Structure 1
Amino acid sequence: MWHGLNGLELSLMNWLVSPIEGAFMDLLMSFFLFLARGSLVWILLTVFLFFDKRYRRTGYLTSAGLAIALLLSFVILKPILARTRPFLLLEGYSLIFPMPETYSFPSSQVTVAFAYVVMTWKSVKSLRIPVLTIASLVSLSKIYVYFNYFSDVVAGVFLGVFCGWFAVKLFEKYTVVRPELPER
């Protein structure tokens, strides 16, 4: 199912990565892969949201949204679609970061990242640019190290936006957690 698309995407990825690769980019991309692994950065941000009364409701939302995004992308879609990782098709490629043990499509880390962008966009305006920047750099890092194909990342973005939107709608409709009122 994936063979024709894999070759085309590897060419596109080589074209995107070759002008920017080097020691600094290896280090930078490894850092963003580390942040995204296990959804570490998103879980930490969610914990910090719980500490501030103004954003506690958003902390509950992001907790639920992360669960939805991981369930849909990692537990359901990856095993069904079973796409091989791009670096496995490259001869002599040396990894700069520990190898993922799951399938490639869709990128679950990108899904989670963009779900987080959508979930925090309206309620935590001060996080808009940092969260979008981290999500974008996580996406680039997945392509840079050939952990995901370009279409895996694009699918992750769209799936993440959907999961974030869905979590917000569910939360608005069914939540019992009301926004905190400002103290007088």
Structure 2
Amino acid sequence: MFQLFESTDVYILFFIQNHFKNSFLDKVMPLITKLGSLGIFWITLACFLILIKKYRRIGITIFISIFLCALIGNIILKPLIKRIRPFDLVYFTQLLISAPKDFSFPSGHTMASFASATIIISQNKKWGIYAFILAFLIGFSRLYLFVHFPSDVIIGAIIGSILGIFSIKLYNIFIGQVKNVPY
């Protein structure tokens, strides 16, 4: 069963390589994936939002979610599951970015992106749609660049969305209910 699952993952990756790969995307996808590196885009956005009183809640909640994503994804799941990267499995040598050194499952880029997008859409539907489009593009970039399996990205999106919801609940419990605090 696991072999069928893994072969489907590899099939999808090669389908992307055979049907979507082109010189334009070869330039754009590394840039899109950089937006998700270390959650840098989402952390920068959260910092900016914290400076604006009206959006401070969203910024703080994004910080909470990124912390949880790093804890759950990078500190717990990746070392526990130890899934090798697809380029190592099939000896794919045409990487357009530096080869990541950590394990593959789940996709941290995707997890942080979907957590952040979930938080944004909970507060602002219009901006949330844009955030989800960016989250999807970041997840797809990981497949295009052959550094994650589709299941890494899908599960990363699911876990990220759940952690986004959980972060909202944590904010409401610990910060949102405090009186006389300018949040």
- TM-score by structure 2 length? 0.91
Question: Is this contact kept in 2: 1:32–1:137, CA < 8 A?
Answer: yes
Q: Aligned with 2:54: secondary structure?
A: helix
Deviations 1:66-114 (A, max 9, x none): 1011111111100000000001123352210111110001111111100
Deviation of 1:180 (Å): 5.6
Answer yes or no: is 1:31 the counterpart of 2:31: yes
Question: Is this contact kept in 2: 1:2–1:83, CA < 8 A?
Answer: no
Moved more, 94-103 or 3-12: 3-12
Distance 1:158 1:103 in 2: 18
Distance 1:74 1:165 in 2: 19
Q: Aligned with 2:46: secondary structure?
A: helix
Question: Is this contact kept in 2: 1:54–1:180, CA < 8 A?
Answer: no
Deviations 1:92-151 (A, max 9, x none): 522101111100011111111000011111223442122111100001001111111010
Runs of 5+ in structure 2 lacking a partner?
none
What is the identity, as a one-letter code, of the residue corresponding to 1:32?
A: I
Distance 2:156 2:44 in 1: 21
Deviations 1:131-182 (A, max 9, x none): 111100001001111111010001001100110011111111221566869x
Distance 1:60 1:48 in 2: 10
Q: Aligned with 1:93: secondary structure?
A: coil
Question: Is this contact kept in 1: 2:110–2:157, CA < 8 A?
Answer: yes
Deviation of 1:8 (Å): 2.7
Distance 1:41 1:126 in 2: 18
What is the identity, as a one-letter code, of the residue corresponding to 2:170?
A: L
Partner of 2:5 in structure 1?
Answer: 5
Percent of paired sites with the same residue: 27
Distance 1:84 1:91 in 2: 11
Answer yes or no: is 1:116 the counterpart of 2:103: no
What is the identity, as a one-letter code, of the residue corresponding to 2:74?
A: F
Runs of 5+ in structure 1 lacking a partner?
none
Runs of 4+ in 1 over 4 A off after TM superposition: 1-4, 176-181
- TM-score by structure 1 length? 0.90
Question: Is this contact kept in 2: 1:6–1:86, CA < 8 A?
Answer: no
Partner of 1:138 in structure 2?
Answer: 138
Question: Is this contact kept in 2: 1:110–1:153, CA < 8 A?
Answer: yes
Question: Is this contact kept in 1: 2:78–2:105, CA < 8 A?
Answer: yes
Partner of 2:172 in structure 1?
Answer: 172
Partner of 2:151 in structure 1?
Answer: 151
What is the identity, as a one-letter code, of the residue corresponding to 2:89?
A: L
RMSD across aligned C-alpha pairs, in angstroms? 2.0
Question: Is this contact kept in 1: 2:118–2:128, CA < 8 A?
Answer: no
Q: Aligned with 2:123: secondary structure?
A: coil
Partner of 2:79 in structure 1?
Answer: 79
Closer, same or farther: CA 143–92 of 1 in aligned 2, 3 Å: closer
Distance 1:124 1:47 in 2: 17
